[in-house]
Structure 1
Amino acid sequence: MTDRFQVVPAAYVLLRRQTPTGAEVLLSLRRGTGYMDGHWAHAAAGHVEADESVHAAAVREAREELGITISEADLEPLCAMHRTHGNGRPIDERVDFFFSCRTWSGVPSLMEADKAAELAWFPLDALPEPVVPHERAVLEAIRTGTLAPIMTFGFEGTET
Protein backbone atom coordinates (compact mmCIF):
# COMPACT_ATOMS: atom_id res chain seq x y z
CA MET A 1 0.00 0.00 0.00
CA THR A 2 1.33 3.46 -0.84
CA ASP A 3 1.38 6.41 1.51
CA ARG A 4 -1.55 8.77 1.28
CA PHE A 5 -0.95 12.02 -0.51
CA GLN A 6 -0.65 14.88 1.98
CA VAL A 7 -1.19 18.56 1.32
CA VAL A 8 -0.66 21.80 3.23
CA PRO A 9 -3.67 24.15 3.06
CA ALA A 10 -3.20 27.92 2.87
CA ALA A 11 -5.51 30.94 2.72
CA TYR A 12 -4.84 33.99 0.52
CA VAL A 13 -6.71 37.30 0.81
CA LEU A 14 -6.60 39.67 -2.15
CA LEU A 15 -7.62 43.14 -1.00
CA ARG A 16 -9.21 45.06 -3.87
CA ARG A 17 -10.22 48.69 -4.17
CA GLN A 18 -11.73 50.85 -6.87
CA THR A 19 -10.01 54.14 -7.72
CA PRO A 20 -10.89 56.81 -10.31
CA THR A 21 -8.35 55.18 -12.64
CA GLY A 22 -9.57 51.60 -12.11
CA ALA A 23 -9.33 48.58 -9.83
CA GLU A 24 -6.22 47.94 -7.73
CA VAL A 25 -4.93 45.05 -5.61
CA LEU A 26 -2.72 45.18 -2.52
CA LEU A 27 0.57 43.29 -2.70
CA SER A 28 3.54 43.00 -0.37
CA LEU A 29 7.22 42.54 -1.18
CA ARG A 30 8.45 39.39 0.59
CA ARG A 31 11.65 39.31 2.63
CA GLY A 32 13.20 37.24 5.39
CA THR A 33 10.95 34.22 4.92
CA GLY A 34 13.25 31.89 3.00
CA TYR A 35 10.58 31.46 0.31
CA MET A 36 10.29 33.74 -2.72
CA ASP A 37 11.96 36.63 -0.93
CA GLY A 38 12.19 39.62 -3.28
CA HIS A 39 8.90 38.69 -4.97
CA TRP A 40 5.59 40.52 -4.70
CA ALA A 41 2.73 38.49 -3.22
CA HIS A 42 -0.81 38.71 -1.87
CA ALA A 43 -0.51 40.97 1.16
CA ALA A 44 -2.29 38.54 3.50
CA ALA A 45 -1.70 34.81 3.20
CA GLY A 46 -0.62 31.88 5.30
CA HIS A 47 -1.09 28.30 6.41
CA VAL A 48 -4.36 27.10 7.83
CA GLU A 49 -3.72 26.03 11.43
CA ALA A 50 -4.96 22.82 13.05
CA ASP A 51 -8.69 22.92 13.83
CA GLU A 52 -9.07 26.20 11.90
CA SER A 53 -11.36 26.71 8.90
CA VAL A 54 -9.90 28.27 5.77
CA HIS A 55 -12.23 31.25 6.30
CA ALA A 56 -10.99 31.75 9.86
CA ALA A 57 -7.40 31.49 8.59
CA ALA A 58 -8.04 34.22 6.01
CA VAL A 59 -9.51 36.53 8.66
CA ARG A 60 -6.60 35.80 11.02
CA GLU A 61 -3.94 36.37 8.36
CA ALA A 62 -5.46 39.75 7.41
CA ARG A 63 -5.38 40.80 11.07
CA GLU A 64 -1.86 39.49 11.76
CA GLU A 65 -0.19 40.68 8.56
CA LEU A 66 -2.10 43.88 7.75
CA GLY A 67 -3.66 44.96 11.05
CA ILE A 68 -7.15 45.08 9.53
CA THR A 69 -10.42 43.47 10.51
CA ILE A 70 -12.41 41.56 7.93
CA SER A 71 -15.43 39.36 8.36
CA GLU A 72 -15.86 35.90 6.91
CA ALA A 73 -19.00 37.22 5.18
CA ASP A 74 -16.84 39.73 3.24
CA LEU A 75 -14.61 37.00 1.79
CA GLU A 76 -15.48 36.30 -1.84
CA PRO A 77 -14.14 32.91 -2.97
CA LEU A 78 -11.95 33.28 -6.06
CA CYS A 79 -10.51 29.82 -6.62
CA ALA A 80 -8.74 26.84 -5.12
CA MET A 81 -5.32 25.92 -6.47
CA HIS A 82 -3.73 22.49 -6.20
CA ARG A 83 0.00 22.94 -6.65
CA THR A 84 3.24 21.04 -6.29
CA HIS A 85 6.96 21.60 -6.44
CA GLY A 86 7.24 18.06 -7.82
CA ASN A 87 9.74 16.89 -5.22
CA GLY A 88 7.42 14.66 -3.17
CA ARG A 89 7.99 16.56 0.07
CA PRO A 90 4.69 17.04 1.92
CA ILE A 91 5.54 20.69 2.72
CA ASP A 92 5.68 21.37 -1.03
CA GLU A 93 2.30 19.80 -1.83
CA ARG A 94 -0.33 22.52 -1.46
CA VAL A 95 -3.98 23.38 -1.75
CA ASP A 96 -4.38 27.14 -1.71
CA PHE A 97 -7.71 28.92 -1.20
CA PHE A 98 -7.86 32.40 -2.74
CA PHE A 99 -10.37 34.99 -1.56
CA SER A 100 -11.12 38.53 -2.65
CA CYS A 101 -12.10 41.16 -0.10
CA ARG A 102 -13.38 44.67 -0.87
CA THR A 103 -14.54 45.65 2.64
CA TRP A 104 -12.45 45.90 5.81
CA SER A 105 -11.94 48.01 8.92
CA GLY A 106 -8.65 49.79 9.53
CA VAL A 107 -5.81 50.89 7.30
CA PRO A 108 -3.73 48.07 5.80
CA SER A 109 -0.22 48.36 7.26
CA LEU A 110 2.90 46.20 7.42
CA MET A 111 2.50 44.38 10.73
CA GLU A 112 5.31 41.87 10.10
CA ALA A 113 8.12 44.05 8.76
CA ASP A 114 10.54 41.13 9.15
CA LYS A 115 8.56 39.24 6.47
CA ALA A 116 7.64 42.08 4.10
CA ALA A 117 9.67 45.07 2.94
CA GLU A 118 6.89 47.04 1.28
CA LEU A 119 3.13 47.22 0.81
CA ALA A 120 1.64 48.81 -2.32
CA TRP A 121 -1.49 49.00 -4.47
CA PHE A 122 -1.21 48.00 -8.14
CA PRO A 123 -3.62 47.90 -11.10
CA LEU A 124 -4.10 44.33 -12.35
CA ASP A 125 -2.78 45.40 -15.76
CA ALA A 126 0.42 46.88 -14.27
CA LEU A 127 1.68 44.32 -11.75
CA PRO A 128 5.22 44.71 -10.42
CA GLU A 129 8.03 42.27 -11.18
CA PRO A 130 8.57 39.67 -10.00
CA VAL A 131 5.37 38.23 -8.54
CA VAL A 132 5.32 34.78 -6.89
CA PRO A 133 4.56 32.58 -9.96
CA HIS A 134 1.48 30.71 -8.71
CA GLU A 135 0.02 33.96 -7.36
CA ARG A 136 0.69 35.71 -10.68
CA ALA A 137 -1.27 32.93 -12.41
CA VAL A 138 -4.32 33.79 -10.28
CA LEU A 139 -3.90 37.55 -10.77
CA GLU A 140 -3.53 37.15 -14.54
CA ALA A 141 -6.62 34.94 -14.68
CA ILE A 142 -8.59 37.59 -12.78
CA ARG A 143 -7.32 40.30 -15.15
CA THR A 144 -8.24 38.34 -18.28
CA GLY A 145 -11.56 37.04 -16.96
CA THR A 146 -10.40 33.42 -17.25
CA LEU A 147 -10.25 32.48 -13.57
CA ALA A 148 -11.35 28.88 -13.09
CA PRO A 149 -12.88 27.72 -9.79
CA ILE A 150 -10.10 25.13 -9.47
CA MET A 151 -6.60 25.70 -10.83
CA THR A 152 -3.45 23.59 -10.83
CA PHE A 153 0.15 24.70 -10.83
CA GLY A 154 3.47 22.86 -11.01
CA PHE A 155 2.11 19.64 -12.45
CA GLU A 156 3.53 18.89 -15.88
CA GLY A 157 1.43 20.60 -18.54
CA THR A 158 -1.28 21.78 -16.14
CA GLU A 159 -0.67 25.46 -15.36
CA THR A 160 -4.38 26.32 -15.54
Structure 2
Amino acid sequence: MSRAGFRECQKCGRNRAERFYASNRGRICVTCRKKGRSKAAHENRVVATYGLQRGEYDQLFESQGGVCAICSQPRVQRLSVDHCHERGIVRGLLCRMCNGRLLTAARDRPEILRAAADYLESPPALEVLGERHYRGDPAKKPQPRKRPRRRKS
Protein backbone atom coordinates (compact mmCIF):
# COMPACT_ATOMS: atom_id res chain seq x y z
CA MET A 1 0.00 0.00 0.00
CA SER A 2 1.30 3.45 -0.95
CA ARG A 3 1.68 6.42 1.35
CA ALA A 4 -0.30 9.58 0.73
CA GLY A 5 1.20 11.48 -2.20
CA PHE A 6 2.89 8.37 -3.57
CA ARG A 7 1.95 5.71 -6.12
CA GLU A 8 3.38 2.39 -7.15
CA CYS A 9 4.62 2.29 -10.74
CA GLN A 10 3.13 -0.73 -12.52
CA LYS A 11 6.26 -1.18 -14.60
CA CYS A 12 9.16 -0.85 -12.11
CA GLY A 13 7.17 -1.47 -8.92
CA ARG A 14 8.71 1.47 -7.06
CA ASN A 15 6.69 3.78 -4.86
CA ARG A 16 7.22 7.18 -6.44
CA ALA A 17 6.01 10.65 -5.52
CA GLU A 18 3.04 12.02 -7.50
CA ARG A 19 5.37 14.36 -9.38
CA PHE A 20 6.85 11.32 -11.18
CA TYR A 21 3.56 10.66 -13.00
CA ALA A 22 2.37 12.51 -16.09
CA SER A 23 -1.29 12.64 -15.01
CA ASN A 24 -3.60 11.77 -12.14
CA ARG A 25 -4.53 8.52 -13.90
CA GLY A 26 -0.97 7.62 -14.89
CA ARG A 27 0.07 4.15 -13.78
CA ILE A 28 3.63 4.21 -15.14
CA CYS A 29 6.18 6.68 -13.79
CA VAL A 30 7.78 9.24 -16.11
CA THR A 31 11.16 7.48 -15.89
CA CYS A 32 9.75 4.15 -17.13
CA ARG A 33 7.64 5.94 -19.74
CA LYS A 34 10.73 7.73 -21.14
CA LYS A 35 12.76 4.50 -21.26
CA GLY A 36 10.10 2.76 -23.31
CA ARG A 37 9.55 5.75 -25.55
CA SER A 38 13.22 6.32 -26.33
CA LYS A 39 13.70 2.76 -27.66
CA ALA A 40 10.53 3.01 -29.75
CA ALA A 41 11.43 6.51 -30.97
CA HIS A 42 14.92 5.31 -31.97
CA GLU A 43 13.47 2.35 -33.85
CA ASN A 44 10.94 4.59 -35.64
CA ARG A 45 13.72 6.98 -36.68
CA VAL A 46 15.95 4.15 -37.94
CA VAL A 47 13.06 2.68 -39.94
CA ALA A 48 12.13 6.05 -41.46
CA THR A 49 15.67 7.31 -42.11
CA TYR A 50 17.66 4.22 -43.10
CA GLY A 51 14.99 1.86 -44.46
CA LEU A 52 15.76 -0.87 -41.93
CA GLN A 53 12.88 -3.07 -40.85
CA ARG A 54 11.84 -3.27 -37.21
CA GLY A 55 14.38 -5.31 -35.26
CA GLU A 56 17.11 -5.11 -37.91
CA TYR A 57 19.12 -2.55 -35.89
CA ASP A 58 19.16 -5.02 -32.98
CA GLN A 59 20.04 -7.88 -35.37
CA LEU A 60 22.98 -5.91 -36.76
CA PHE A 61 24.03 -4.86 -33.25
CA GLU A 62 24.10 -8.51 -32.12
CA SER A 63 25.96 -9.66 -35.25
CA GLN A 64 28.69 -7.06 -34.51
CA GLY A 65 28.95 -8.34 -30.94
CA GLY A 66 27.63 -5.04 -29.54
CA VAL A 67 30.74 -3.12 -30.58
CA CYS A 68 31.74 -0.57 -33.23
CA ALA A 69 32.44 -2.27 -36.60
CA ILE A 70 35.72 -0.32 -37.02
CA CYS A 71 37.39 0.13 -33.63
CA SER A 72 35.64 -2.79 -31.83
CA GLN A 73 35.16 -0.66 -28.74
CA PRO A 74 32.09 -1.45 -26.64
CA ARG A 75 29.47 1.23 -26.82
CA VAL A 76 29.04 4.00 -24.33
CA GLN A 77 26.12 5.48 -26.23
CA ARG A 78 23.89 3.94 -28.87
CA LEU A 79 25.87 3.07 -32.01
CA SER A 80 25.21 5.17 -35.11
CA VAL A 81 23.87 3.67 -38.32
CA ASP A 82 26.57 4.31 -40.93
CA HIS A 83 25.61 4.61 -44.59
CA CYS A 84 27.30 5.36 -47.90
CA HIS A 85 26.49 8.89 -49.01
CA GLU A 86 26.88 8.05 -52.70
CA ARG A 87 24.85 4.85 -52.93
CA GLY A 88 22.73 5.25 -49.79
CA ILE A 89 23.33 1.70 -48.55
CA VAL A 90 23.61 0.92 -44.85
CA ARG A 91 27.13 -0.32 -44.01
CA GLY A 92 27.01 -1.06 -40.30
CA LEU A 93 26.94 0.38 -36.79
CA LEU A 94 29.74 2.66 -35.65
CA CYS A 95 30.66 4.58 -32.51
CA ARG A 96 30.38 8.34 -32.77
CA MET A 97 34.15 8.79 -33.00
CA CYS A 98 34.54 6.47 -36.00
CA ASN A 99 31.39 7.63 -37.75
CA GLY A 100 31.63 11.34 -36.98
CA ARG A 101 35.37 11.89 -37.13
CA LEU A 102 37.33 9.05 -38.72
CA LEU A 103 35.14 8.48 -41.78
CA THR A 104 34.30 12.17 -42.06
CA ALA A 105 37.97 13.16 -42.03
CA ALA A 106 38.68 10.52 -44.69
CA ARG A 107 35.70 11.76 -46.70
CA ASP A 108 34.53 8.12 -47.02
CA ARG A 109 37.53 7.38 -49.26
CA PRO A 110 39.19 4.02 -48.52
CA GLU A 111 42.48 5.12 -50.12
CA ILE A 112 42.85 7.85 -47.47
CA LEU A 113 42.32 5.33 -44.69
CA ARG A 114 44.81 2.92 -46.31
CA ALA A 115 47.35 5.75 -46.61
CA ALA A 116 46.77 6.62 -42.94
CA ALA A 117 47.41 2.99 -41.95
CA ASP A 118 50.59 2.94 -44.06
CA TYR A 119 51.72 6.20 -42.44
CA LEU A 120 51.21 4.78 -38.93
CA GLU A 121 53.01 1.54 -39.77
CA SER A 122 55.91 3.21 -41.57
CA PRO A 123 56.35 6.89 -40.60
CA PRO A 124 58.47 8.82 -43.12
CA ALA A 125 60.44 10.61 -40.37
CA LEU A 126 61.98 7.30 -39.25
CA GLU A 127 63.39 6.70 -42.72
CA VAL A 128 64.64 10.26 -43.22
CA LEU A 129 65.79 11.28 -39.72
CA GLY A 130 66.02 8.09 -37.75
CA GLU A 131 64.40 7.68 -34.38
CA ARG A 132 63.54 10.95 -32.59
CA HIS A 133 61.53 11.21 -29.39
CA TYR A 134 58.96 13.73 -28.32
CA ARG A 135 60.26 15.56 -25.26
CA GLY A 136 57.13 17.18 -23.96
CA ASP A 137 55.33 15.74 -20.97
CA PRO A 138 52.17 14.12 -22.39
CA ALA A 139 50.50 14.31 -18.96
CA LYS A 140 51.06 18.05 -18.73
CA LYS A 141 48.39 20.11 -20.42
CA PRO A 142 49.35 23.41 -21.99
CA GLN A 143 48.42 26.34 -19.79
CA PRO A 144 45.88 28.74 -21.27
CA ARG A 145 47.23 32.18 -22.03
CA LYS A 146 46.02 34.80 -19.63
CA ARG A 147 44.35 37.73 -21.23
CA PRO A 148 45.19 41.17 -19.88
CA ARG A 149 42.37 42.75 -17.94
CA ARG A 150 40.64 45.66 -19.51
CA ARG A 151 40.74 48.82 -17.54
CA LYS A 152 37.53 50.65 -16.89
CA SER A 153 37.44 54.00 -18.65
Higher strand residue share: 1
Higher helix residue share: 2
For normalisation by structure 2, the TM-score amounts to 0.21
- Structure of greater Rg: 2
For normalisation by structure 1, the TM-score amounts to 0.21
